[in-house]
Structures are given as C-alpha cells and as structure tokens.
Amino acid sequence: MRKRWRRKKGPGSSPGTLVYMGERTGKEIRLSVIDYDDSRLTERDDIPLDHIGALKETATVSWINVEGISDPKVIEELGKRFGLHPLLLEDTLNPRQRPKVESYDTYLFLVLKMLYLEKDEIRSEQVSMVLGPHYVISFIEDPGDIFDPVRDRIRAQRGRIRQMGADYLLYALVDAIVDHYFIVIESVEERIERLEDEVFTRPTPATLQAIQSLKTELLYLRKSVWPLREALSVLLREEGPLITEHTEFFFRDVYDHTIQVIDTLESLRDTVSGLLDIYLSSLSHRLNEVMKVLTIIATIFIPLTFLVGVYGMNFDYMPELRMHWAYPAVWMVMLIIAGLMLLFFRRRGWL
Amino acid sequence: MRKRWRRKKGPGSSPGTLVYMGERTGKEIRLSVIDYDDSRLTERDDIPLDHIGALKETATVSWINVEGISDPKVIEELGKRFGLHPLLLEDTLNPRQRPKVESYDTYLFLVLKMLYLEKDEIRSEQVSMVLGPHYVISFIEDPGDIFDPVRDRIRAQRGRIRQMGADYLLYALVDAIVDHYFIVIESVEERIERLEDEVFTRPTPATLQAIQSLKTELLYLRKSVWPLREALSVLLREEGPLITEHTEFFFRDVYDHTIQVIDTLESLRDTVSGLLDIYLSSLSHRLNEVMKVLTIIATIFIPLTFLVGVYGMNFDYMPELRMHWAYPAVWMVMLIIAGLMLLFFRRRGWL
Amino acid sequence: MRKRWRRKKGPGSSPGTLVYMGERTGKEIRLSVIDYDDSRLTERDDIPLDHIGALKETATVSWINVEGISDPKVIEELGKRFGLHPLLLEDTLNPRQRPKVESYDTYLFLVLKMLYLEKDEIRSEQVSMVLGPHYVISFIEDPGDIFDPVRDRIRAQRGRIRQMGADYLLYALVDAIVDHYFIVIESVEERIERLEDEVFTRPTPATLQAIQSLKTELLYLRKSVWPLREALSVLLREEGPLITEHTEFFFRDVYDHTIQVIDTLESLRDTVSGLLDIYLSSLSHRLNEVMKVLTIIATIFIPLTFLVGVYGMNFDYMPELRMHWAYPAVWMVMLIIAGLMLLFFRRRGWL
Amino acid sequence: MRKRWRRKKGPGSSPGTLVYMGERTGKEIRLSVIDYDDSRLTERDDIPLDHIGALKETATVSWINVEGISDPKVIEELGKRFGLHPLLLEDTLNPRQRPKVESYDTYLFLVLKMLYLEKDEIRSEQVSMVLGPHYVISFIEDPGDIFDPVRDRIRAQRGRIRQMGADYLLYALVDAIVDHYFIVIESVEERIERLEDEVFTRPTPATLQAIQSLKTELLYLRKSVWPLREALSVLLREEGPLITEHTEFFFRDVYDHTIQVIDTLESLRDTVSGLLDIYLSSLSHRLNEVMKVLTIIATIFIPLTFLVGVYGMNFDYMPELRMHWAYPAVWMVMLIIAGLMLLFFRRRGWL
Amino acid sequence: MRKRWRRKKGPGSSPGTLVYMGERTGKEIRLSVIDYDDSRLTERDDIPLDHIGALKETATVSWINVEGISDPKVIEELGKRFGLHPLLLEDTLNPRQRPKVESYDTYLFLVLKMLYLEKDEIRSEQVSMVLGPHYVISFIEDPGDIFDPVRDRIRAQRGRIRQMGADYLLYALVDAIVDHYFIVIESVEERIERLEDEVFTRPTPATLQAIQSLKTELLYLRKSVWPLREALSVLLREEGPLITEHTEFFFRDVYDHTIQVIDTLESLRDTVSGLLDIYLSSLSHRLNEVMKVLTIIATIFIPLTFLVGVYGMNFDYMPELRMHWAYPAVWMVMLIIAGLMLLFFRRRGWL
C-alpha cells in the first residue's frame, strides 16, 4: 500500500502550472451535474463546460462531480469559471495531498482520502471538494460507488437532503466517505484476529511480515484520518455564511465519527504491537521447548554412555568384567540413574 | 471484550434516520418516571407517551428512565415531545458513542459508559442522559441495578437529593456510574495480582495471553474514562442556567474521581507492561537454567567418555592395558577430572 | 506499597455523607491548637469543640491540628463551625485523594501526601489543610514528627514565622512535608545503587522483582508529587487576599523544590529502566558464557571420541591396529586436533 | 552524515565578530545579481560591492546571490550596505544554524537547509536568505544547480514570477529547496526497500549497521525539516508589508509540502524501527533453526550410541552377545527408536 | 556524575536561613570587582564589603564576582547592601538549583549550570547571577577560567562590550557558559564514536556499563540545558527596563544556541539508545555463531560415532566384521555422511 514518491513535475518547476500527478492517465474526464431544490431535480451527464459556469449563479443546489481528473485543461477551465485559486486546482491534480480544509473568500476547499476495499485490499482515493454558496464541486479519480447512496437520497427525496443547502450536500458526501472507513477498519480487525490465532499456534517469519505490513497499513490509515479530524475541527470553528449553524450539528457528528475511527485505530495499533511481543516471546518459548528436549535426552544418555564405555575398555585387569552378575548390575545402575534423572526433570517442571 | 464493528445502517444511509444499532433487539422498551420535589413523590412505571410530554413543563424534578432502547419509534416520539435534536436521538441508539457532553439551547446531552462486573467479566453499557431545566431523561439498554441506590435515596429522602434540582439528580446518576468504575478496577487489580504470581512461578504461553487480554481491557477502560473526563471538564466550564453553582461543586468531585480512576488505570497499565517484561526475562532465565544443566552434564561426561573410549581401542600395542594398576588409575584420573569440573562450575556460580 | 481499592461506602451512597474511609479506625481523634502572634503564644491540647469556633474570628494566627480523623462527627462539627463545604470534609476522610488545591469563597483547601520512611519502607500519609484568613486547620491520620520543627520554630520564635500570617504558617507546613520527600528519594537512591551492583554481579529473578517493585514505588512517588506541583502552581496563580504577595515568594520556592523532586524522580525512573535493560542483557551474556563452555568442551572431545571409537571397532582386518607405533600416533593426531581447535577458539575470542 | 562540532571561534569570543565557521575555506566568494521587473531584466555576475547597495532602493526586484561565503569581509560590507544586523551576518557564516525565520524591522531573515544527493549520498547545504522590500539576498556555500530552474523561469518569463514582487521570488527559492527534499526522500525509500529484502533473507551485522545509519540519516532529515515547518508557520502568521496576502497562499502551499515531507519521514522512521524488530526476531528465528537441527541429530543418535555402547562392553557373561539373531535385532530396535523419534519431531512440527 | 542528595539543613528548618549546602567548604570566599564604562576601567580584587554597596548607585557598569560561596555571612551582608531577597540568597548557596530566571522588582535573578571538562570528565558548577540596573553580581563556587575571555574583552575594549550596559555583560557571561556546552558535547561525541566501534567489534558487559553511564550523563546534560532554555525564553518575554531591546537580539542568539545544544543532545540520546540495541543484537549474533559451531561439529560427528560404536559391539555373529573390505567401506560411508552434512550446512548458509 505504501507508494513511493513519483514526481511528474520536475523540482523547481513553476508552481500553479497544472500537471496531473496521479497514475491513471488513461481515464477520460467525465463531468456530471445534479441540480436540485426542494421541488425540482435535473441530472445531466455530459454538460458542456460553458453551461456549467452558469450553475454558480442559480439558487438551486448544484453538485458538479468531476471524475477522472487526468486532463488538466478541463480542470483549469472549470477553475476559471468558478473563480478558483490556481493552487487549489493544482492540489486537486496531485493525489498525494494531506486531508485539509482551506477557506477562501467565497468558497471552502476540502481534501480528504476515500478508503475502500477491493478484493480484500485497502485502496485509497483522493477526493477534493469545493463548497460555494449554492454548489459543491467534487474532484475524484475513480469514485467507485461510494457516492451512489447520496445520489439515491437526492433522487428519492429521502431524508432532509432536498430541503437543505449545498453545505448539507457537502456533509452528506463527507459522511458517506467516513462511513466507509468503518468498513475498512472492520476488515483490518478480521485480519488481526486471524494473525492472533497464527502467532500463538504456528509463528513463522511470514507471520512477522504480515504483522509488519499490518502496522504499515494502520499507519497509513492513521495518516489519512488524523489530518481529516484536524480539517473538520477547522471547519467547525469556521465562521461565515457557507456553513449554516444547522448543518454544523451534522458536521459535529461526522467529527465524532472520525474520533471514533481514530480511537479504534489506536487500539488496533496497540493490539498489533502486542502481536509483535507475542511473536518474539513465542520464538523464545519454542527455543526453550527445543532445548528442554535436547537437555533431557542428552542428560540421561551421556552419563550412561560413559558407563558402558567404561566396561568397553580393554584393560587386562578389570575384575568386574569377570563377575557373573556384573552385567545385570550395570543395567540396574543405569536404570536407577535414568530414573533419578527423570525425577529431577519432573521436579524442575520440565516433564 | 473487544467488539467488532457492526453496522445495521448501510454506509451512506441518510443521517438522522433512527435505526437501533445495538445487539439486544429482543428487549422491549420500558419507560419509568419518578417525579418529585421536596414534599411530593410520584412514581409511574407505564406512563403513556402523551402524558410524558407534560412533565417538561412542571416545576417538579422529573426523571424519565428509558430502558431497552431497541424501538426507535418510541425514542423518536419522546424526542419530538421534548424538542430533542434528531442527531442526539441517533446517538442514543448507537451503543458505540464516545463519552461526551453536548450543549444544546435548552438542554445538555451527556453520553457515558457504565461498567459493571458480570460473573467476573467486565460488561459495558452505554448511558445517554438529557438534562433539561426540570427533567432528566436517561436512555440505557439494560441498567442492571446501578441506579437503584439513587432511586432509594429519592424515595427515602436520604441526603439532600429531594431538596435539589434536576442538575443534582444528573450528578447523582453520574456519580453512581463512576463509583462502579472503582469496583471494576478492583477486580482488575485482583487479576493482576494473580498474574504476578503466575509469571514468577510458572509462566506459560497462556500467561502471556492473559497479560495481553488484560492490556486490551485496560485499554478499553481507558477509552471509556478519558473522554468522560474531558466531557466532565466541558460540563464544569459550561456556563448557563442548567447547572447551578452549588451543584458544580459536586460535579467537580465526580471529576476528581475520574482523575483518580485514570491515575489508577495508568499505574495498572504500567504494572501490566512490567509483567510482560518479567514474562520475557523469565523465559530467558529458564533457558539459562536448562542450558546450565545440559552444559554441566555434557562437560563432565564428554571428556570422560573420550577417555574410556581411548582404552576401548583395540591396538595390539597399548602398554597401559597390560598394567595391573591401570584400571583403578584411570578411575582415579576420571574422578579428578570430574572434581575439577565441578570446582570450575562452582567458581562460575552455576551450582 | 500499592494498596488496593477499598470502599467503605457502598457505590451510589449519598455524597456528602461523612464516612471515614481509611484503615486506622482504632485511633482516637485529637485536636490541638496553637494560637500565636508576634508577642503572645497559647498552646491547648484538649480544647472543647465549642471554643474552637471562636478562633475563627480572632486576629491571632490559629493552627488547629486534627490527628486521627476516624471520627466523622467531630470533623462534621468542626466543619460547621468554620463553615466548610461538606464535600471538603468528605475529602479529608478519604485517604485516597489526589493532591489538589481548591479555592472556596473565604478559604483555600489543600490536600497533599506526606511521605516518610519507617524501617526503610516508604509510608504515605494524607494531609488536608484549610487556610482561612487567620487560621490553618490541618487534618492528618498520623502526623509522626514531621510538623515538630515547625512547632518548635513557633515556640522558639526562630525565623520570621511569628511575625507572619496564617499563609506563612501554611507555607511552613507544606515546606516541611516537601523537605521529607528528599529524604525518601535519598533512600530510593541508595537502594538503586545496591541493585546496580547486584544486576552486574549476580542477577537473579529476585533482582528483577526488586527492580519491578522499585519501579512501582517510583510511580507512586510520581503520582504523589506531580499533582502537588500542579496544585502549587494553581496556588501561585491564585489571586485573593488569603496569600500575600510576600508569602508567594516562599510558595514559589516550595514549587521549585517540587520541580527538583520531579526532575530527580524522572532520572531515577530512567536509571531503573536502564537496570532492566542491563538485567536482560546480563541474562543473554550469561547464556553466551554457558554456551561457549559447552561448545568448547564438546567441539574438542566429540571428534576425538569419534576417533577412539574408530579404533575400538572389531573388524578383523584393520591394519593400523597391528602397527606398533599406531597407538602413540593416534595420541599425537588427537593432540594436534585439540590444539587446532583451541587455536580456532582463541582466534574467535572465546578463550 | 553526522558531523562533529567544530569551532573556529574560541568559546567566549566576542559575539558579532564575523568568522567563517564552515569547512570549505578554499572557495572564493561570488556575487551574482538578477534585477528584473515585468518588462526588464538585467543579470550581472561580477558587480562591485559599491554598486550593490544601490539595488536596495530601486523598485525592481533584485536577487543578490552570494556563493562561497568563506570571506567574512565581503559579507560584512554587504551587511553594512543593506543595514543587516551583525548577528544575522554571523548566522550566515555558521553552517550549523537551525532553520528559522527572524523578523527584523525592515527585512525578514530566513535560514534553511538545502538537501541534495551526490553519488547516492545525502548532502546538506545551509541557505540563508534576507527578504527586503524589493530585494532578496541569498547566502549559500555551494548552491549546485538547485536555483537554476528559478533563474530559468525569470529569464524565460515562465509562470507569474516576473509579475510578482520579491516575496514571490523568496517563495520560489524556498519551493525549489523543499521540492528537492522529495528527491532525497525517494532515495531513502529505495534504500529502505533494499534493506527490507536483506533483513528477511540474509541478515548480518552489516545489515544492522545499515539500519542504524539509516535511522541516523532520518533523524538528521527530521532535524532539518521540523524547524523549517515551524519557521514557515511563523512566516505565515507574520504580519507586515513584506509578504503580500497573495503570496501567502503560495507559502501556505510550501508549508503543506513540508508537512507532507514530515509525514513521510515519520512513516519511514516507523518502517526503519520495524526493520530493527525484524532483524532481531530474524536472529532468534535462525537460532531456533540451528537448535532444531542440533536437537534432532543429537536426540536420535545419542540413545543409539548408548545402545551400541552397551554391546561393546567386555563382560564375560553377556548372554545376548552369543545369540545368533541378536545383532540384527539390535539394528531393528535402533531403527524403531529412530523412527519413533522422527515421529515425535514431526508431531512437534520440527520437520 | 550523578550525585546523591545531601542535606546540610535538617528538614523543616527555617527557610531563609542561609546555610551553605555545597561540598567545598574549605574554599575561602573571594570578591572581585570590575567597574567600567566606555572610557574608564577599575579592577579591584579585595574590596571591603562596605565599599561594594556603593557600586549599586554608580552609573558605570559594575561586575561583582563572588567566588567560593561557602561563607553565608558574606553573602548575607552583600544581599543586604543590594537589597536582595533572602530566598534568592539561599538559592545561591544551594548548588542543586534548577536553571531558572526569576524577576524581582528592581533586579533579575538567574541560575544556570556551567559545564566543563576536567581530565575528560564532565564537571558541573552552579552559577547564580543578579542583574541590576548598573551591576551584575555573579556567584560561583569555582569559576575555573570560563569567564576569563569576557574579562579580557572588557580590558582590551574588544567588541562592543565597553559601550553597552550591564544587560550586555550578563549576556556575555551567559554566552561564555553556553559556548562551553559545545565543548562538552564534542567530548561526548568522541566517546560515543569509540563505543560504536567497541560495540560492533568486541562487546563486553563493560561496554554496556559505559553505554549506561553515557545515557546517565546525557540525561544530566539535558536536565541542565532544558530548564536553561525555558529560563532564557522567560527572559526574552520579560518586559521592563533591565534588558534593552538591543541586547534582546543577543539573548535571542544565545537562546538559539541552547536549542542547538538540545537538538544535538536529542540526537546523541537516540544514538546511544541505538548502541544498546546493537549491543543486545550483537549478543544474539554471537550466540548464533557459537551455536552454529557446536551444531556443525556435533551433527557431523555424533552419527559417525554411532556408526563406529556399532562395529565396536562384541556380538559373536556380526558378518561385516569378518569381511575384508568392510573397514575401508565404513570409512567411505563415513566420509560420504560427513560430506553430505557439510553440503547441507552450506545450503543453509552456515559455512
């Protein structure tokens, strides 16, 4: 999941020049607009850029969703029509932004990380959103189906979304994203449980590698959620007309969710660290077991082997060798020695 | 004790829709009301929802206790009659809230975790409470008997509770909950003492597992108490008519108790971490003991075995073999070697 | 030194009810009063409660010392006469308070931990003190002789104590307590030095246990001193007539002392953690030593034993056996092998 | 990369005396000036000091770049002409400054660390910059080619640089430096990946040394970037005419980049710590493998060797020796023992 | 370097009583005065106490240096003449003060730790300084030659010191002390480098002891520098006529130096912690090496010894014994076994 730095722009290149810095250059850009108020709803999928600018002025709430952001020209054009700052546009094209909220004169800019599962692996997608008085613009490389429930709610007039302004729409989108964090965490929890089993029953270096990669993933999650929390708290303290007091309550709720996510992540990190301790002590324990077996066998047989060696000597004058009962006596002595050894091991708790 | 995330609501579902998200769906909802002032006391157990709304206006203190919160409709109805925010109601239905205090226009909202022991295991229950000018509403899935002493004090006019307002009632309930934390901590302390014994005398992988699960439980306790402390400190800084200056002293006292709980938890965490260190060093120590035994036995007998091997050789010309005193001489030599070895071990402190 | 929680009051019992929660119920309560100004000094040991109330009004400085606090009735009576808050009185009876300063309308309340040595063990005693305009009330279960030097200074008019007000008396008492911390720390330092010796020369599991219990004690000391520091910093920021600017300098001095104590405690904790590291690496080192001995002995004699075994075989056709010089030749070979082995070990630095 | 302290000035020498404290005393000082506004551009490479002072007053933006700072006299002269504080000048000559921003009456002073790769090794260079109303002075020992892109942009009128003031020039320089951090981090990431491979497949003490030196380098990077972040946040809070609100947006962008760098550094530190854990557990694992082999071999053959020893004894009366089938029977017994042993090892999971 | 607590004053003794609490009671007190302004300079070495008081009023800058502070009477007398607070005087006599800045009505009080090397060992000396409008009083047990450069600068009129006030003198003294920290750190760095070598090539328990004592020393340095940094930041925020704005720049410079010292100390602590890790893993590595040797030898020879044991048995009917080629065949088999073993070890990477 860790990605290495990759620069498309050379270092020192002019800032504010729009260059796409992600990895999915193949994807075509796609603009879709949902324009609604309490009573009306228009959905347009392939709206020309010229018409989009007009949405800025209407009193209805307009949600402009930009998918596949690899074409800087469209972004630049859009930015001009909505009067967006060049650096903001640059940020939308660089999928390595930290989650943040930036407040401009007439609009708010929000960057966050969408997390979702794809074949049991955690994928991360950057979402940038602009909140204006009556519009929300969302930029995303590949939205998957995370925004579908919001779209459905708008269409079906479920909940209060159609009665509320653009700030509530922004909230709904952020909420949809944060809700997905819980799913991702659930899958991580399942993997931790499986590792817990493994580490106690059959720890191998592969287990260690799995623990390490879990740690890295948790770190990555943390890096996505912590700045989001900060960003949301900035948003909550934000004064101004863009976010109504009513919607603030809802953002407070999302904020609480991110704290919940962080709390859970911290617990999981602790658990994973614990796994490492268990792994190491499990190795020690196994070494102890191995050594006990060796010691028991060696300690019993080495003295006995010495004894039989004694009577294998070829001295001419060894009176014992001539005695009739000597052989069974030696066996007897050896059995006693072995018995005493076993007793000693039992007393030590090795058997 | 760690519970996995479980979502009843799909991600992205409309916020503010009341859906019960706990696990005890079987339980029926039960409203009970205690309405009192200095001189009068009415207790009603099955009051119709229509009558409850009237309690909001009376000058007497009304404690409305809602048990078994699995029916969102009743909660919603209650919320409407007392003018509670939809998100607040949603929080009462989600038993994974973080302890918090939220201040609304005419009421305070408080979420905290009740902890109690059930057959030596720590159970956790979420309690949500709303403090209005003359009423307290408490939501709880399964209150057990934690609130009984408060109820008894109201009934028996013990202490000052009947002379005081709704804020003091809220305090009494919070105090009852925090008092139970001490009982839970006591039981954890007992388990730690038992583990301390075990880790010194007979450490096994099971001991390690017990240490790890203790750590997890302490983490969980911490996660319950820390935000409570924050919440109470918010409450103390809270200005407004809901909490009188007089009652504030009492909340300061509860606040002190939570700090005491946190202090103790931190010590216990330290102790448990220490147990892990002892466990690991105990493994090392045991390995040392095993190796010492092996080394002593092997080091004494391996040279002797070599010696007897020498005189077990079948060379035709080995003058020693023919000498009469050779056999006892060899024994003598071997005893001297063994004695020197033992001396060496004693000097090393291995015996 | 760690004490388990013990509740005398049931959970949920009415707050503000005075119940003694310590362990020395046998002790009788004892009030002693020292009343002084620049010129006069009265000492009374068994003053009736009725007369004590009058001391509140006099312009002389009155020090009311309450020893053996197990009788809640006397405390309650005293509280009434001096107008003390019920929760404050409850705190004096619960010997598990955290050090703190609470400021009330006309008096300050201070709780701190007195530490002293009894037969080389650290004992802890809770001291509660109330500072009024012209009086100091101190509550303590068993004061020992810590306050004696202050008493002597008052009697002998040593220093400036007789010229100053009740705030200076409070300072003198706090200073006497904090001074004793240094003695306790000194004894801990001595024990650490002894352990340092032990851990290098002959580490045993008992050493580990001693290290662990030292850690616990340092933790306990820390828990006593940190909140005291906070409390004193509250006191220093405290505005109001109770503490004069002049005395503030002296409190600043005590505050500096507590910081010194904390600094030393932190160093000691670090040293004790270091001891644990040394203990563990000492175990590893010893294991290495044991293994080296085993390996040297085994590696020299196992090949030799094999060799003598070869010539102990009973094959009919083994030409070497018949050769006259074969036996001394085998000895020669064996000596060379052993010599080479020893050389190899020396080169590895094992000898 | 860690450099030891080296003082050129004796301790206690007069502060404000300009002494070069770097290591490249051989380099000659070189002043180059770029003076531009929207329409004009002058570049001068060997401008006499007397003429440089005049640049302070012109309305065009002047970038005075001082390379090879080993000659204190030139610096001092320059300082006088631009009215720079002596301590500031002293800082430019000491290549061990911490990154910082200092605000003087009419100019800002900025110190930061330039990092670049030279033959795969991280090199660090200190850059000091002074921002005045219409000029930027940059001091650097050996700038390499990091500032070239900025120079090119000015020359080619690319981007908005020619339309903006000296503050934007400062931003462009800082941005060029911070951009290079990403390149350095990339190379560190590559080395970590190589080490990850090594630590799992063939850990040697050299691996450990490599891990340690990586840790040291990350620490050094951290020490360079953290104070830069602080410094930039000071710059952003800085009020005054030197930095226009417009340029502040750009500095906010650089600030975001430094946070990104810090985030990545923290992850890398975590990864490197993880490598150490893996290294240690890898050692343990290998020891286990070694011991298993020894134990299997010894445990199988030691009892068998005892058995053959028994029948190598020379007692006169050992009936087994005379039996015809005894020899194959002994072989059979030995095979069975060995088989049982192997079964036992398989059951333990050692094979 | 760690010193144990030593109290000269009994606990509870009257505060403000001047008692010398250091260890060099033998030293005689020595007052020396340098009195200067731009044009004049007087140096007096044995000035009577009566005349010193007069220096307080003169407009020239007076530096009163008090060496060998073991005589409380002189200190007390001096204190009276300059109107110094008794607690301040007490602090000068107690060489265990934490570095701090205290601001009194008409003077500032500063305590810091002078560090210097004496025969490669770090020595620490407490310096207390009082800054009044036109005077600096410095108290020190044994100043060594650290202040000599300052004295020389005053005498030789080097730098600006003669043109500036008492605040600049204070700065010059503090700067001289902080400059010496760098020398001490350099020597620590050298010792760390030597230990780094040792820990890789020949780690012994003595190495561990050296690492531990380095850790303790770094801790001590940290304890000296951290509070100094705090104290200087207090000084910088200090408003009032004692420190002019001009001198504040210089103090800011010293402050930067202390931060540099702290940064370096933190790196060194990290390095020393790393040494401990290396030490421990080095022990593990050595154990592995020892075990490999043992295992290789034992694994090759134990099976062979068994084999030769087989043909040492004395059964009457062992057909192999009679065969002519059996003996060389056994040798062949044994060589093959040994060869296979060696191959196996090579494949495992043990050879």
Q: What is the mean pLDDT of chain E?
A: 85
Shortest CB distance from D189 goes to which of A5, A100, A330? A5
Shortest CB distance from B281 goes to which of C208, C219, C302? C208
Pick B106 or A96 by higher pLDDT. Answer: B106
Q: Which residues of E touch D309 (CB under 8 A)?
A: 309, 312
Looking at the structure, do residues C238 and C309 belong to the same domain, yes or no? no
Looking at the structure, do residues E127 and E272 belong to the same domain, yes or no? yes
Give the containing element (helix H, strand E) for D87.
helix D86-93
Distance from CA of A301 to the nearest CA of D (A): 6
Cβ distance of A270 and B215 shorter than 8 Å: yes
* Amino acid at residue number D165: G
Q: What is the rounded radius of gyration, in angstroms, for the C-alpha atoms of chain A?
A: 35
CB-based contact B225:B217 (threshold 8 Å): no
Cα distance between residue A29 and residue A349, in whole Å: 71
Closest of A7, B104, C295, D234 to residue E298, by C-alpha? C295
Reported as a pLDDT band with limits 50, 70 and 90, residue B270 is confident
Q: What is the mean pLDDT of chain D?
A: 85
ipTM of the complex: 0.75
**Using CB atoms, which chains have 3+ pairs under 8 A with E?**
C, D
Q: What is the pLDDT of residues C293-315, one digit of tens each?
A: 999 999 999 999 999 999 999 99
Cβ distance of C310 and E308 shorter than 8 Å: yes
Enter the tokens of residue A104: 């401009």
Q: Which residues of C touch B161 (CB under 8 A)?
A: 14
Enter the tokens of residue D324: 């015809």
Cα distance between residue C129 and residue C126, in whole Å: 10
- Residue C262 has φ and ψ, to the nearest 5°, of -60, -45
* Beta bridge pairs of residue E43: E34
Looking at the structure, do residues A224 and A324 belong to the same domain, yes or no? no
Residue of A nearest to B3 (CA): A189
Residue A78 has pLDDT above 60, yes or no: yes
Question: What's this model's pTM, rounded to 2 decimal places?
Answer: 0.81
**Using CB atoms, which chains have 3+ pairs under 8 A with C?**
B, E
Least confident range from B19-28, B169-178, E50-59, E314-323: namely B19-28
Share of chain A above pLDDT 90, in %: 29
pLDDT at D297: 92
pLDDT at B16: 58
Q: Which residues of E touch D102 (CB under 8 A)?
A: 252
pLDDT at A57: 80
Cα distance between residue C158 and residue E16, in whole Å: 11
CB-based contact E135:E35 (threshold 8 Å): no
Distance from CA of D197 to the nearest CA of A (A): 11
Cβ distance of E313 and D314 shorter than 8 Å: no
Which own/partner pairs from A190-197 qualify as long-range (CB within 8 Å, at least 24 positions apart)?
Answer: A190/B4, A192/A268, A192/A271, A192/A272, A192/A275, A195/A275, A196/A271, A196/A275
Could you give the count of Cα atoms lying within 13 Å of A95 in the half-sphere of its Cβ? 23
pLDDT at D329: 93
Tell me if C59 is assigned to some domain: yes
pLDDT at C24: 61
Tell me if B122 is assigned to some domain: yes
Q: Say which CATH number the domain at E338 has.
A: 1.20.58.340
Tell me if A14 is assigned to some domain: no
- Sheet containing strand B100-103, edge to edge, reads B41-44, B30-36, B61-67, B135-140, B121-131, B108-118, B100-103
Pick E28 or D235 by higher pLDDT. Answer: D235
pLDDT at D209: 85
* Residue entry with tokens 């060389």: E328
Residue B190 has pLDDT above 60, yes or no: yes
The DSSP code sequence of A188-251 is HHHHHHHHHHHHHH---HHHHHHHHHHHHHHHHHHHHHHHHHHHHHHHHH--SSSS-HHHHHHH
Residue of C nearest to B250 (CA): C87
Looking at the structure, do residues D50 and D193 belong to the same domain, yes or no? yes
Q: Which residues of B touch A159 (CB under 8 A)?
A: 14-17
Which own/partner pairs from C279-282 qualify as long-range (CB within 8 Å, at least 24 positions apart)?
Answer: C279/B281, C279/C199, C279/C203, C279/C207, C279/C208, C279/C211, C280/B277, C280/B280, C280/B281, C280/B284, C280/E280, C281/E205, C281/E208, C281/E279, C281/E280, C281/E283, C282/C199, C282/C200, C282/C203, C282/E205
Q: What is the mean pLDDT of chain A?
A: 85
Mutate to test the interface with A, among D253, D273, D296 (most CBs of A within 10 A): D253
Shortest CB distance from B279 goes to which of A253, A281, A294? A281
Q: What single-letter DSSP state applies at residue C29?
A: P
pLDDT at A6: 42
Cβ distance of A216 and D274 shorter than 8 Å: yes
Pick D328 or C145 by higher pLDDT. Answer: D328
Looking at the structure, do residues C81 and C226 belong to the same domain, yes or no? yes
Residue of D nearest to A285 (CA): D288
Cα distance between residue A272 and residue A266, in whole Å: 10
Looking at the structure, do residues E344 and E215 belong to the same domain, yes or no? no
Q: What is the pLDDT of residues E196-231, one digit of tens each?
A: 888 887 888 888 888 888 888 898 888 889 999 988
Looking at the structure, do residues B123 and B219 belong to the same domain, yes or no? yes
In chain A, beta strands by DSSP E: 30-36, 41-44, 61-67, 100-103, 108-118, 121-131, 135-140
Q: Can you say whether the dihedral through the CA atoms of A89, A93, A96, A99 is positive or negative?
A: positive
- Sheet containing strand E135-140, edge to edge, reads E41-44, E30-36, E61-67, E135-140, E121-131, E108-118, E100-103
* Mean pLDDT of the region C226-234: 90
- Helix, strand, or coil (residue E62): strand
pLDDT at C13: 59
- Helix, strand, or coil (residue B139): strand
- Give the Cβ contact number of residue D40 at 10 Å: 9
pLDDT at C1: 40
Cβ distance of C158 and E14 shorter than 8 Å: yes
Range of the structural domain that residue D235 is part of: 30-281
Shortest CB distance from B302 goes to which of C11, C302, C320? C302
Residue A3 has pLDDT above 70, yes or no: no
Looking at the structure, do residues E304 and E273 belong to the same domain, yes or no? no
Tell me if B290 is assigned to some domain: no
- Helix, strand, or coil (residue B168): helix
Looking at the structure, do residues C202 and C138 belong to the same domain, yes or no? yes
Looking at the structure, do residues B61 and B141 belong to the same domain, yes or no? yes
Residue B10 has pLDDT above 70, yes or no: no
Residue count (chain B): 351
Tell me if E5 is assigned to some domain: no
Enter the tokens of residue C326: 């074969």
Q: What is the pLDDT of residues B198-235, one digit of tens each?
A: 888 788 888 888 888 888 889 888 888 999 998 899 88
Enter the tokens of residue D256: 């975001």
Least confident range from A40-44, D34-38, E16-20, E250-254: namely E16-20
Shortest CB distance from C279 goes to which of B153, B159, B281? B281
Tell me if A109 is assigned to some domain: yes
The DSSP code sequence of A317-332 is --HHHH-TTHHHHHHH
pLDDT at E297: 92
Tell me if B176 is assigned to some domain: yes
Share of chain C above pLDDT 70, in %: 93
Q: What is the mean pLDDT of chain C?
A: 85
Cβ distance of D280 and E280 shorter than 8 Å: yes
Q: Say which CATH number the domain at C58 has.
A: 3.30.460.20
Q: What is the pLDDT of residues C303-350, one digit of tens each?
A: 999 999 999 999 999 998 999 899 999 999 999 999 999 999 999 888
pLDDT at D300: 93
* Mean pLDDT of the region D41-56: 81
- Give the Cβ contact number of residue D109 at 10 Å: 21
Least confident range from A200-214, B275-289, C9-23, D163-177: namely C9-23
Reported as a pLDDT band with limits 50, 70 and 90, residue A295 is very high
Distance from CA of B52 to the nearest CA of C (A): 27
Residue A327 has pLDDT above 70, yes or no: yes
Reported as a pLDDT band with limits 50, 70 and 90, residue C5 is very low
Shortest CB distance from B308 goes to which of A256, A277, A312? A312
In Å, how far from its chain's centre is CA B35? 35
Residue partners of B84: CB distance under 8 A and separation at least 6? B78, B104, B107, B109, B130
Share of chain A above pLDDT 70, in %: 93
Q: Which of C230, C260, C281 is the last residue of a domain?
A: C281
Looking at the structure, do residues A157 and A244 belong to the same domain, yes or no? yes
First-to-last C-alpha distance (Å) of chain D: 47
Q: What is the pLDDT of residues E327-344, one digit of tens each?
A: 999 999 999 999 999 999
Mutate to test the interface with B, among C202, C308, C317 (most CBs of B within 10 A): C308
Looking at the structure, do residues D91 and D223 belong to the same domain, yes or no? yes
Shortest CB distance from B302 goes to which of A148, A302, A348? A302
Cβ distance of A209 and D200 shorter than 8 Å: yes
Q: Which of C248, C281, C314 is the last residue of a domain?
A: C281
pLDDT at D156: 86
Domain total in chain D: 2
* Amino acid at residue number E138: S
Tell me if A22 is assigned to some domain: no
Q: What is the pLDDT of residues A210-262, one digit of tens each?
A: 888 888 888 888 888 999 998 898 888 877 788 888 888 889 889 999 998 99
pLDDT at A330: 93
CB-based contact E67:E141 (threshold 8 Å): yes
pLDDT at C282: 85
Give the containing element (helix H, strand E) for A275.
helix A245-310
Residue E238 has pLDDT above 80, yes or no: no
Q: Which of C227, C257, C281 is the last residue of a domain?
A: C281
Residue partners of A105: CB distance under 8 A and separation at least 6? none
